[in-house]
Amino acid sequence: MLEVLLCSLITILPDYLFRKYRQGKAWGKEITFFTMWYELRWGITACAMLSISLVTLIFYYHPSTTNAAPLFRTVSIMPEKSGRVQHVFVENHQKIKAGTAIFSMYDESQMAAIEQAEANIRQVEAEFSTAYAQLTVAKSNVEKARSAYMRSKNEYDRKKELSLKGNNIISESEVQKMADTVAINEAGLSASSANQVSAQAVIDNILPAKKASAIEVLDSAIVDEAKRTVYAHIDGELQQFALQPGDFVNPMIRSAGMIVPSSGEASGREAVQAGFNQLAANVIKVGTFAEITCLSKPFTIIPMKVDSVQSVIATGQVRTNETLLDVQERARPGTLTVRLVPLYEGGLDGVIPGTKCVANAYSYHHELIASGTLSTPETLYLHMVDAVGVVHAIILRMQALLLPVKVLVFSGH
């Protein structure tokens, strides 16, 4: 409407003034509602053509959207295992810090697992005492076997030497019998030494590994027991949190509540996400200036600039499934997602995350014009493009004034 009014000032109005003062035709006589088209046909035609061109020019180079909002994310509060709530340490809408305990659950089986793991460690420690005693016995048996072997070896050597001197002092059978005794004692020494090595291996390798395994089981049980208490991992505010002692929590069914971040990119207090028409893809670039007005902060125009432009359109995403994709099902065009940040610090103060906003983006060709690389017609055209952005700025301010009225009066609340 504003564009039509502006165009009529330089088309229909001059046509009417020409016919009134130059041709002497007056409104109500020659010019009436019935003869208006014939009498003012040139002005009306020019106004229609100029209005359509101006609207197209404005909406292409200075796109607008009502699909804008400061989006925020939520962090679900869920335990890793199901359980019944024992204690609740916080309340709904309470602001909490990272590391704050939210609620705890009781699980008798977990306490039993910890006690069993501790008992296994004590059992391994008792096996150490037994192993040391067995090692002492094994060492004693080695010394005993070595002593027997040395005695028999010395006796064999003595008798062997006497048998070699002749005179039938020592019989050959007696020497052989002594040799067998030496062999038996040597085998006994080897067996005792093997038993000592085995006992030492139990102390050095088997029992330490067994104890380490028992300690790992205990640590795992303690970690699982600590999971009975759920903590906050970010700073934020609790929402939809209504747990009470005795409630059963199952992470597979639903979360126990959610945390809305109080700061950072995820809080929705640093940027606004806007979805523009796909035709604006060649116009909106990083650094493009913009303005928004939001329902939660009425009658206020907030200057913004484009911080990033999403490189894909969400409606084009494809996921592999058992049915072939029919492009007809995606006939509705998606929007060009743009991230807007305040031009000045604190620009989004007072804007509630998630609120509905209206956004305008404005083409700005001053640097291109100042570069001197354009021809005169191109320079004039871009000057005109930048100038008509004022019309869209005026429209946005009118929307800012009428938005509360539209919502409160015409929304049918």
Q: At what angle do helices 108-165 and 207-226 cross, to 10 degrees?
A: 170
Q: What is the pLDDT of residues 90-139, one digit of tens each?
A: 999 999 999 899 998 877 666 777 778 888 888 888 888 887 888 788 78
Taking residues 271-297, report their average pLDDT.
91
Written as six digits, the tokens of 15 are 């046509």
Q: Are 276 and 361 spatial neighbours (Cβ–Cβ below 8 Å)?
A: yes
pLDDT bucket at 190, cuts 50 / 70 / 90 = confident
Q: Measured between alpha carbons, how far is 158 from 182 in angstroms, rounded to an integer?
A: 13
Q: Is residue 259 helix, strand or coil?
A: strand
Which CATH code of 3.40.50.800, 1.10.760.10, 3.40.1280.10, 2.40.30.170 fits the domain covering 63-72+268-316+332-412? 2.40.30.170
Q: Where are the domains of the chain?
A: 1-61, 63-72+268-316+332-412, 75-83+91-105+229-256, 108-227
Helix or strand (DSSP H, E) at 303: strand 297-309
Reply yes or no on whether the pLDDT at 86 is more than 90. no
Question: In the numeric block, which tokens belong to residue 348?
Answer: 């989004």
In this predicted model, what pLDDT tens digit does every residue of 280-292 receive, in sequence order?
Answer: 888 899 989 999 9
73 versus 170: which is more confidently predicted?
73
Whole-number Å distance between alpha carbons of 164 and 242: 103
Residue, of 66 and 156, whose pLDDT is higher: 66
